[in-house]
Amino acid sequence: MRAFTQVDGLVAPMDRANVDTDLMVPKQFLKSIRRSGFGPNLFDELRYLDEGEADSDNSRRPINPEFPLNFPRYQGASILLARENFGCGSSREHAAWAMEDYGFCCVIAPSFADIFQSNALKNGILPITLSALQVDTLFERLYEEDKFRLRVDLEAKTVLLPDGELWSFDVDAFRRDCLLKGLDDIGITLERADVIRSFEQRHRERFPWLFEDIVL
Contact residues toward another protein (CB under 8 A) are: 15-18, 20, 22-23, 26-28, 30-35, 45, 51, 54-55, 83-85, 88-93, 96, 111-115, 118-119, 122-123, 172-174, 177, 185-186, 188-190, 192-193, 195-196, 199-200, 203, 207-214, 216
Calculate the alpha carbon distances from 151 to 7, 59, 81, 137, 196 in Å: 6, 31, 13, 16, 40
As a whole number of angstroms, the distance between CA 185 and CA 97 comes to 17
Name the residue nearer to another protein (CB basis): 9 or 126: 126
Name the residue nearer to another protein (CB basis): 16 or 147: 16
Name the residue nearer to another protein (CB basis): 8 or 51: 51
Q: Are residues 78 and 9 in contact, defined by beta-carbon separation less than 8 angstroms?
A: yes
Q: How far is the CB of 212 from another protein (least distance, A)?
A: 7
As a whole number of angstroms, the distance between CA 185 and CA 182 comes to 10
Cα angle 119, 121, 127; round to 5: 105
Q: How far is the CB of 159 from another protein (least distance, A)?
A: 21
Q: How far is the CB of 80 from another protein (least distance, A)?
A: 17
Phi, psi (degrees; rounded to nearest 5) at 210: -75, -10
